[in-house]
Each structure stands twice: as structure tokens, then as C-alpha cells.
């Protein structure tokens, strides 16, 4: 990817003494892969789980462990956070969270937390009983009051054999949380409804009609909008993607379910981006039993599903409406027709015959057309980069519409 929120950002990663410390190695790699430079500060107990040599190898710089005895850095507790863009504590143990909540500064990392005037993200990892203890809940509440971001642990099998909440969030989730903290907030105050993925129109209990949409374009739009400060609701048909962190996620299956969900959020939204590939036809009555093999030919009567975007176009008051047009011929003419027919402010057209663009790919190449007739052609880029470009254009349309009113 050519662009990343983490490019040239400096992250101070604090690692404390949990079995999940090994996952911090993966986190250093992920942050570095996305362009950040990472300085690791490890507590004494973290050193019991993973050696400084490992962190040095993956981060490319020396690991800090002590307040004293590092001549190159006479006041590391002041200088290290000063040089960083954000401080991430991952994993954060119950003990360390307790110390942060009470302002205790008895080692390098806890002293850094007190001295840091930068965003602080805390990623707890511990046994579920410890995580659910009232003392822990109170301490986390206290950290929220200090303005620290908590990246909640996941629920699942724990290292001790128990099952429950307490697993350190995945490195990709922690990276996303860091991006949300560091990105410029030019969409602050906007309420963005995004739809993504395909819909499935059932035929019988085991079969359905669908399409090859992966949901990646809508997922990228939702995540980038969240990073840029918007409140985001993502309504998605079935995909293999995991629910994006910090975003209200509404899973749906059919076009009818998506229609109902979209309408229930429409009055709330200031911007609606319909990236979903909604099936245009489905069976009006789903067969109650599995269809048996019989005659050589089979006819199914299909009926039109509701055109959600067209309905939104009719109901539109103040919202900015963005549609998608995936076409295999007459791309621009078809996109213009849809823009008018559905009363849109902007349409994102993509030629599905271009190699690497559209359904199922990680990349896309789009032509963005506004209601004013402006056309912008993007190169073939990662879908996340395309999401930045689409949202830049939405912002321009929004600013222009503000200027008019
Ligand atoms: O008319 P067409 O389906 O090609 O238009 C595509 C756009 O309309 C997309 O933004 C898609 O999400 C939306 N759409 C919809 N409801 C449908 C079909 C498409 O909202 N039933």
C-alpha cells in the first residue's frame, strides 16, 4: 500500500508481564509493516516471558527496561514519550492497569505513562475472573476518565485453559485503534451509514442466489470514515471479514433485511454510502423443503427485490447519498443514468472487466461522478486508498452543499 496512517509515525510500545507478551512481537511487526517505527519499553516481568533480543530484532532498535543505567538516554521517562506520537500498552496486565489507575510510577514504563502527554492506548490481557473483578472494572473506568483508549480483550480460549473474556486483542485490531487515534478528524460530526457485501436470497433451506462481492470496499469505507472522526454504522451482508473495531455493525442476509435496516438508520445519517451489491432478484416465497432433483429443466420464478437506494433518493432530505455502479459496458453513461434515476449526490463507477478491480479483489479502480457532472478517475489502488479518495470527494460535495445552503 502506498499510503498508510502509520507512515512515519513513532509508536512507543509498552509490554508488561503477561503470557500474551509473545503477541506483542507480532504487533511490532504489523505496526512496522504499515510504516510506523516502534520503540519497545518492557517491564521486568515482561522479560520473564519474552527476551529483549527478540523485540530488538523485530523493531530494529534497543529495548528500554530501566529508569537508570542507559547513558544514551539520561531521562528516558521524559524523552521517550516526547518523541512518540502514541503510547500503546500491549499486553497490559491487571497489575499494570492497577498501577496506571492509581498513578504509581515505580519502574520505567509506569513512569512513562505518567509523564506522557500523548494519546495512550491500553490493551488488557488476563484471565477472565481477573478481568471481570470489580477492582479491574473500576480501574479501567478510571483510565477512561483519564482519556486513555481501552482496546477491549477478546472472548475465547485463554492460555490457562479457561474460556472467556481476557484474550489480548488481535494485532490488526490494535493497529486499527492506533490509526483511529492518529488520523486527522475531518469527518468529525458526520454520521455515516455504509452498506457492504452481497445479499443472499434464499431458494430453499440450503440454497440461495448471491454474487461475488467480498464486502472489502464497504468495510474499508467504514473503517476509514471511523478513523477520520465520523460515527459509523456498517450494515453488511454475509462476508468473510471480521467486524471492524469501534463501529456499530448490523449483519443482514437478504435485500429485504438490508432495506429494513437501512431505513431504520436513514434519519440518523448525514451521509449514506451504498457499497453493497444487493441482489436484484429473489424468490417471493422460499421453498420450505430442499428442492429435489427431478425434471431435466427447472424454472424458478424470480421477483425484484426492493431498490433500497432508489427509495432513499425519494426520501432524501439533507443526506448526501453515494451509490455504486459496477458495470461491464457503457460504464460512465450507465453510472450517470443511475445517479439521476436514484437522485444521488455522487456515484462511484467501476468497470468490472479491468483486471484487479471490483468484486473479490483487494484493489479497485474507480470513476467518481458528482451530481454537478464532475468526473474523477482513480488509478488502480488498494481498496483502503480508494476509500480515502471517495471520502475526500464526499467531503468536497458536503462542503459545496453547505456553501449553497
Ligand atoms: O441499479 P443498480 O443495482 O446497478 O445500482 C447500484 C447501486 O444501487 C448500489 O449503490 C447498490 O448498493 C444500490 N442498490 C440498492 N438496492 C438494490 C440494488 C442496488 O440499494 N436492490
Q: Which of 182, 203, 237 is the last residue of a domain?
A: 182
336: domain CATH number is 3.40.50.10300
Q: Which of 139, 161, 182 is the last residue of a domain?
A: 182
Q: Is the pLDDT of residue 403 over 80?
A: no
The answer to whether residues 45 and 143 belong to one domain is yes
Rounded distance between C-alpha atoms, residue 36 and residue 281, angstroms: 46
Is the model more confident about 371 or about 295? 371
Instruction: Name the grid cell of 340.
Output: 439521476
The answer to whether residues 383 and 270 belong to one domain is yes
Using left for φ > 0, alpha for ψ between -120 and 50, and beta otherwise, residue 339 falls in: alpha
User: Which residues form the domain of 91?
Assistant: 10-182
The answer to whether residues 200 and 51 belong to one domain is no
Q: Is residue 305 part of a domain?
A: yes
The answer to whether residues 207 and 333 belong to one domain is yes
Distance from residue 235's CA to the centre of ligand 1 (Å): 14
Query: Can you name the residues that pair with 236 across neighbouring β-strands?
Result: 196, 251
Q: Is residue 288 part of a domain?
A: no
The answer to whether residues 257 and 382 belong to one domain is yes
The answer to whether residues 62 and 101 belong to one domain is yes
52: domain CATH number is 3.40.50.1950
Q: Is residue 4 part of a domain?
A: no
Ligand 1, CB cutoff 6 Å, lining residues: 195, 255, 274, 276, 278, 280, 305-309, 323-325, 338
Residue 255 alpha carbon, nearest atom of ligand 1: 21
The answer to whether residues 195 and 167 belong to one domain is no
Banded model confidence at residue 122, pLDDT cuts 50, 70, 90? very high
Distance from residue 391's CA to the centre of ligand 1 (Å): 19
The answer to whether residues 177 and 210 belong to one domain is no
Domain count, the chain: 2
Q: Which of 10, 18, 193, 35 is nearest to 88 (CA)?
A: 10
Contact between residue 275 and residue 308 where contact means Cβ atoms under 8 Å apart: no
Banded model confidence at residue 162, pLDDT cuts 50, 70, 90? confident
Q: Which of 50, 48, 46, 30 is nearest to 38 (CA)?
A: 30
Rounded distance between C-alpha atoms, residue 52 and residue 126, angstroms: 22
Q: What pTM did the predictor assign?
A: 0.93
Q: Is residue 291 part of a domain?
A: no
Identify which of 218, 252, 260, 278 to mutate to test ligand 1's pocket (most ligand atoms within 8 A of the CB): 278
Q: Transcribe 229-246 into DSSP letters.
A: T-EEEEEE-S-SSPPPTT
Q: Is residue 3 part of a domain?
A: no
Give the pairing type, strands 120-124 and 37-42.
Answer: unpaired
Note the pLDDT tens digit of each residue in 218-262. Answer: 999 999 999 999 999 999 999 999 999 999 999 999 999 999 999
Q: Is residue 207 part of a domain?
A: yes
Alpha carbon 390 to chain centroid, angstroms? 16
Average pLDDT over residues 181-185: 96
Q: Transcribe 260-328 into DSSP letters.
A: HHHHHHHTT-SEEEE--B--SEEESS--SSPPPP-SS-----EEEPP-HHHHHHHH-SS-EEEEEEEES
Active site annotation includes 160: yes
The answer to whether residues 92 and 34 belong to one domain is yes
Amino acid at each position: 500500500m502506498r499510503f498508510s496512517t502509520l507512515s512515519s509515525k513513532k509508536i512507543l510500545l509498552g509490554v508488561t508481564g503477561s503470557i500474551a507478551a509473545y503477541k506483542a512481537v507480532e504487533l511490532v511487526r504489523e505496526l512496522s509493516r504499515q510504516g510506523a517505527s516502534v520503540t519497545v519499553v518492557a517491564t521486568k516481568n515482561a522479560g520473564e516471558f519474552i527476551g529483549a533480543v527478540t523485540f530488538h530484532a523485530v523493531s530494529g532498535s534497543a529495548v528500554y527496561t530501566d529508569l537508570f543505567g542507559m547513558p544514551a538516554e539520561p531521562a528516558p521517562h521524559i524523552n521517550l514519550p516526547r518523541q512518540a506520537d502514541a503510547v500503546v500498552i500491549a499486553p497490559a496486565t491487571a497489575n499494570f492497569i492497577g498501577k496506571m489507575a492509581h498513578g504509581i510510577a515505580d519502574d520505567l514504563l509506569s513512569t512513562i505513562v505518567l509523564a506522557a502527554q500523548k494519546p495512550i492506548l491500553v490493551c488488557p490481557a488476563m484471565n477472565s475472573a481477573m478481568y471481570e473483578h470489580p477492582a479491574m472494572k473500576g480501574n479501567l473506568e478510571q483510565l477512561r476518565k483519564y482519556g486513555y483508549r481501552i482496546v477491549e480483550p477478546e472472548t475465547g480460549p485463554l492460555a490457562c485453559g479457561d474460556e472467556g473474556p481476557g484474550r489480548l486483542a488481535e494485532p490488526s485490531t490494535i493497529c486499527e485503534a492506533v490509526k483511529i487515534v492518529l488520523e486527522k478528524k475531518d469527518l468529525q460530526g458526520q454520521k455515516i451509514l455504509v452498506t457492504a457485501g452481497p445479499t443472499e436470497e434464499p431458494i430453499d433451506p440450503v440454497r440461495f442466489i448471491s454474487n461475488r462481492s467480498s464486502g472489502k470496499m464497504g468495510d474499508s469505507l467504514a473503517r476509514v470514515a471511523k478513523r477520520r472522526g465520523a460515527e459509523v454504522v456498517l450494515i453488511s451482508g454475509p462476508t468473510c471479514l471480521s467486524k471492524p473495531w469501534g463501529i456499530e455493525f448490523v449483519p443482514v442476509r437478504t435485500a429485504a433485511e438490508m432495506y429494513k435496516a437501512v431505513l431504520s438508520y436513514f434519519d440518523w445519517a448525514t451521509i449514506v454510502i451504498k457499497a453493497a451489491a444487493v441482489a436484484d432478484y429473489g424468490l417471493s416465497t422460499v421453498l420450505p423443503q430442499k428442492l429435489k432433483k427431478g425434471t431435466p429443466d427447472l424454472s424458478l420464478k424470480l421477483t425484484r427485490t426492493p431498490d433500497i437506494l432508489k427509495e432513499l433518493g425519494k426520501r432524501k432530505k439533507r443526506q448526501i447519498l453515494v451509490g455504486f455502479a459496477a458495470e461491464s459496458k457503457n460504464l460512465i453513461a450507465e453510472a450517470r443514468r443511475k445517479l439521476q434515476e436514484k437522485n444521488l449526490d455522487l456515484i462511484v463507477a467501476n468497470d468490472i472487466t479491468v483486471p484487479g478491480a471490483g468484486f473479490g479483489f483487494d484493489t479497485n479502480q474507480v470513476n467518481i461522478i458528482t451530481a454537478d457532472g464532475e468526473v474523477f478517475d482513480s488509478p488502480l489502488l488498494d481498496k483502503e486508498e480508494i476509500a480515502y479518495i471517495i471520502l475526500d470527494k464526499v467531503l468536497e460535495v458536503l462542503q459545496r452543499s453547505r456553501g449553497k445552503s
